[in-house]
Amino acid sequence: MSTANWKKIGRLESIPVRGSRRLCSSHFGRPIAVFRTSDDRVFALVDECPHKKGPLSEGIVAGDTVACPLHGMVIGLSDGVAVAPDEGAVETLPVSVVDGEIYLHLPEPGVSG
């Protein structure tokens, strides 16, 4: 993992508690949702529900899950996997918070996963 790919994306406070912000990355090519839980953990997921690409960044966050706003599928924030009985998974991206700054690890352009 090269440190060059860690991008600073903003301060923790810029994301509401139990909320999310979208991130446009022309570099990554797909929208990314950055979540903050009630205990200030931060997760980044591709902002496309595995069901019909609903914007997960607009869902209700509870614990470490988010409910997709379109048809209510619940997705685990840590692994991107849909909570049973639903099936499907969305890609997650590594994030870390250092001194209140959020860093996102972006893969090389064109590389996914």
Partner 1 sequence: MTMEKKSPLIRLVVVGNGMAAMRTVEELLQSDGSALYSITVFGAEPHPNYNRIMLSCVLAGDKSFDETIINTREWYTQNGITLIAGDPVVAIDREAKTVTSQSGRVVAYDKLLLATGSRPLAPSIPGLGLPGVCAFRDIADVEKMLAAARTKSRAVVIGGGLLGLEAAWGLKQRGMSVALVHLMPTLMERQLDVPAGQMLQKALDRRGISFFTSGQTERITGTDAVEGVQLGDGRFIPADLVVLAIGIRPNIDLAKAAGLQIGRGITVFDDMRTSDPAIFAVGECVEHRGQVFGLVAPLWDQAKVCASQLAGDASAVFASKALATSLKITGIDVFSAGALAAADPDDDEITLRDDARGIYKKVILRDGKLVGAVLYGDVTDGQWYLQLMRDKQDVSAWRERLVFGRAFAEAGADKPSGPDYAAMPDDTQICGCNGISKGTICKAIRQKNLTTLAEVRSHTKASASCGQCSSQVEGLLAYVTGAVKVAKKTICACTDSSHDEVRAAITERKLKTMDAVRSELGWKTPEGCQKCRPALNYYLLCAWPGEYGDDARSRFVNERVHANIQKNGTYSVIPRMWGGVTTAAELRAIADVADKYAIPTVKVTGGQRIDLLGVKKDDLPAVWRDLNSAGMVSGHAYAKGLRTVKTCVGSEWCRFGTQDSTGLGIKLEKLCWGSWTPHKVKLAVSGCPRNCAEATIKDVGIVCVEGGYDILIGGNGGIEVRVTDKLTRVASEEEVLEITGAFLQMYREQAHYLERTAPWVARVGLEAIRARVIDDHKERRALFDRFLFSQKFAQVDPWAERVAGSEAHEFAPLEEV
- Decide which of ligand FES, partner 1, none touches 51; Cβ closer than 5 to 8 Å per partner kind: ligand FES
Which 3-state string (H, E, C) describes the chain?
Answer: CCHHHEEEEEEHHHCCCCEEEEECCCCCCCCEEEEECCCCCEEEEECCCCCCCCCHHHCEEECCEEECCCCCCEEECCCCEECCCCCCECCEECEEEECCEEEEECCCCCCCC
User: Which range binds ligand FES by CB under 6 A, 2-10, 17-25, 45-53, 92-100?
Assistant: 45-53
- Decide which of partner 1, ligand FES, none touches 59; Cβ closer than 5 to 8 Å per partner kind: partner 1
Residue among 55 and 94 whose Cβ is closer to partner 1:
55
User: Which range binds ligand FES by CB under 6 A, 3-11, 12-20, 35-43, 69-77?
Assistant: 69-77
Contact of 72 with 65, CB cutoff 8 Å: no
CB of 55 to ligand FES, least distance (A): 9
Select the residue interacting with partner 1 from 7, 86, 91, 97 (CB under 8 A). Answer: 7
Q: 75: closest CA among 44, 106, 99?
A: 44
Residues engaged in binding partner 1 (CB under 8 A): 7, 9-10, 14-19, 21-28, 34, 38, 52-55, 58-63, 65, 67, 69-70, 72, 74, 104, 106
